[in-house]
């Protein structure tokens, strides 16, 4: 399996090697995966156009690496643990064997409904296991998934369907989220009334069983399409640079911006970063509270953990339902070892008072993580002392939809920790700080615009249907640099925040 760094000294050695010989370093990581055909060239790149290719000529299917290669040794291990919205509803478990079968059946259903390699499939679903299953089913047959967060408006959904000319929408009937009962299918119907002419089929998953309108010839029930299918489905052979998914970020101006990630590099980097940042060990239970509608859910609920053969938790509910102790109740119930959430949630729970934490032991937790925005010191201290009991490290992860994976972060309990600091770059990541005139700020104790000066495997390749927008947004501000759009500070110890 992927290299897992075991000490901070080793991190320094590995980091140095990854910068001195990036191609050798990433080839070594990539060789731990299952390839149908080995790559011809590790890396070809320029940041002018931009044009970045990792492992070109390599052939693979990411789902063979998430599922098939685990069947022999860990087929009966739990892959997905599903905690439903209602606290008294039973936890649902999918072993790697069961997940493999479910993904194959769903992939066969997609094929039976005319979905082929290269077709775009849009998702508008709550956090239920079927969302992860159908995402993997798309990857299995080479279809490109575009997951839209199921809280977006019908207009936002329609814009994203049209931008990618999707052929199918997969949705649920309703979504029970906390005390809310949300008519998911109705939002899809409204979106499809906005000239989404490319959609041929809507596959509806019966989540609550409440009544919905089904349009003849277009709308089909998931269970009717999937249940009778074969539990074997040959994985489509993909090129390392074939498109895996599109994920839209709300661009600051009008038109949604579809960030494109590809099969090979994304696979290598998400698995590598997952194992190292969270220091995941066999048998651990890992829980990221994000939604699969965001990049965090793609990389660190679905792909990263499954590539690493981990047990990943999916949670349908919200942190404050039925009360503000829900996260901690689930951590105790499932014996969660790594817990990854957003500063917004931490601040909201902190504001509810410590009484919601006090009834829980939380003694299974080994690593805490934060994602999505910088964390303020007060929230960091509360998270560290109240949730981690002062002995679980916090990995404060900096990254973006566009980077595909965590870029700057501590590595579990190995790295020095400083409140509200993300810390050091991961191996293979070469950040730098620039001033407004385009000069690099060398040394420590400096503040500037955060750029990255060398490619990494999981970086975006383009913005869907509009490569110029990608060049303009990320590669035009500084010559031969990826510009993150963020400001950052590198302190006296070289830690970033």
pLDDT tens by residue, 51-71 = 999 999 999 999 999 999 999
Distance between CA atoms of 197 and 211, rounded to whole angstroms? Answer: 25
Two structure tokens written together for 231: 């539990």
462 bridge partner residues: 260
Coil vs helix vs strand at 184: helix
> How high is the pLDDT of residue 250?
73
Distance between CA atoms of 307 and 303, rounded to whole angstroms? Answer: 6
pLDDT(254) > 80 = no
Distance between CA atoms of 6 and 164, rounded to whole angstroms? Answer: 42
Could you read off the pLDDT of 459-496 as tens digits, one per residue? 999 999 999 999 999 999 999 999 999 999 999 999 99
In Å, what is the CA distance from 439 to each residue of 432, 435, 495? 10, 5, 20
Please list, in sequence order, all residues whose beta carbon lies within 8 angstroms of the beta carbon of residue 313, skipping any fewer than 6 positions away: 80, 81, 82, 83, 285, 286, 287, 288, 330, 334, 336
Query: Which region, left, alpha or beta, applies to residue 336 given φ > 0 means left and ψ of -120 to 50 means alpha?
Result: beta
> How high is the pLDDT of residue 251?
58
Residue 193, Cβ neighbours under 10 Å: how many?
10
Residue 310's H or E segment, with its range, is: none
| Strand pairing category for 394-396 and 367-370 | parallel
Distance between CA atoms of 80 and 288, rounded to whole angstroms? Answer: 12
Domain boundaries, the chain: 8-318+397-490
What does CATH list as the number for 8-318+397-490?
3.40.50.12780
Could you read off the pLDDT of 403-420 as tens digits, one per residue? 999 999 999 999 999 999
> How high is the pLDDT of residue 467?
98
pTM: 0.97
> How high is the pLDDT of residue 1?
60
In Å, what is the CA distance from 231 to each residue of 23, 123, 234, 246? 38, 22, 10, 27
CB 216 within 8 A of CB 183: no
What integer is the mean pLDDT of 151-173? Answer: 97
Two structure tokens written together for 371: 């994602």
> How high is the pLDDT of residue 252?
56
What integer is the mean pLDDT of 162-181? Answer: 97
State residue 367 phi and psi, 5-degree precision: -140, 135
Q: Is the peptide bond before 50 cis (omega within 30 degrees of 0)?
A: yes
Coil vs helix vs strand at 282: coil
C-alpha 391: how far from chain center: 27
pLDDT(3) > 90 = no
Residue 78's H or E segment, with its range, is: strand 78-83
Nearest one of 381, 476, 495, 375 to 431, comparing CA atoms: 495
Two structure tokens written together for 38: 């080995």
pLDDT(31) > 70 = yes
């Amino acid at each position: 399996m992927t290299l897992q760094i075991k000490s901070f000294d080793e991190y320094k050695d590995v980091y140095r090697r990854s910068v001195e010989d990036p191609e050798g370093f990433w080839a070594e990581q990539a060789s731990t995966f299952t390839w149908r055909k080995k790559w011809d060239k590790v890396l070809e790149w320029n940041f002018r156009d931009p044009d970045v290719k990792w492992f070109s000529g390599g052939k693979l299917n990411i789902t063979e690496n998430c599922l098939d290669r685990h069947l022999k040794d860990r087929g009966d291990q739990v892959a997905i643990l599903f905690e439903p919205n209602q606290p008294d509803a039973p936890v649902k478990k999918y072993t790697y064997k069961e997940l493999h079968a479910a993904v194959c059946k769903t992939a066969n259903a997609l094929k039976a409904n005319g979905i082929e390699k290269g077709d775009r499939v849009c998702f508008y679903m709550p956090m239920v296991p079927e969302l992860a299953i159908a995402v993997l089913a798309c990857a299995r047959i080479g279809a490109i998934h575009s997951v839209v967060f199921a809280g977006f408006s019908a207009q936002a959904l329609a814009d994203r369907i049209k931008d990618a000319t999707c052929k199918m929408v997969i949705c649920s009937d309703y979504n029970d989220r906390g005390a809310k009962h949300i008519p998911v299918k109705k939002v899809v119907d409204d979106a499809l009334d906005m000239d989404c002419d490319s959609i041929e089929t809507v596959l509806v998953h019966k989540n609550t069983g409440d009544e919905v309108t089904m349009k003849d010839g277009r709308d089909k029930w998931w269970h009717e399409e999937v249940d009778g299918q074969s539990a074997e489905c040959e994985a489509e052979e993909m090129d390392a640079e074939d498109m895996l998914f599109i994920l839209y970020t709300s661009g600051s101006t009008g038109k949604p911006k579809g960030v494109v990630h590809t099969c090979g590099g994304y696979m290598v980097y998400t698995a590598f970063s997952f194992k190292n940042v969270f220091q995941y060990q066999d048998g651990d239970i890992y829980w990221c509270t994000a939604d699969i509608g965001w990049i965090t859910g793609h990389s660190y609920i679905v792909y990263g953990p499954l590539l690493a053969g981990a047990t990943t938790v999916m949670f349908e509910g919200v942190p404050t339902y039925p009360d503000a102790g829900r996260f901690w109740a689930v951590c105790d119930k499932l014996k969660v070892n790594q817990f990854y959430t957003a500063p917004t949630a931490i601040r909201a729970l902190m504001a509810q008072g410590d009484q919601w934490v006090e009834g829980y032991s939380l003694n299974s937790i080994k690593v805490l993580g934060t994602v999505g925005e910088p964390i303020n010191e007060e929230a960091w201290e509360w998270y560290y002392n109240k949730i981690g009991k002062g002995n679980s490290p916090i990995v404060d992860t900096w990254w973006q939809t566009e980077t595909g994976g965590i870029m700057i972060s501590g590595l579990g309990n190995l790295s020095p920790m400083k409140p509200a600091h993300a810390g050091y770059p991961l191996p293979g990541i070469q950040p730098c700080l620039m001033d407004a005139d385009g000069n690099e700020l060398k040394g420590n104790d400096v503040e500037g615009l955060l750029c990255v000066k060398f490619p990494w495997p999981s970086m975006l390749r383009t913005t869907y249907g509009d490569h110029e927008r990608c060049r303009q947004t990320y590669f035009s501000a500084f010559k031969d640099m990826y510009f993150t759009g963020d400001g950052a500070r590198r302190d006296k110890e070289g830690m970033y925040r």
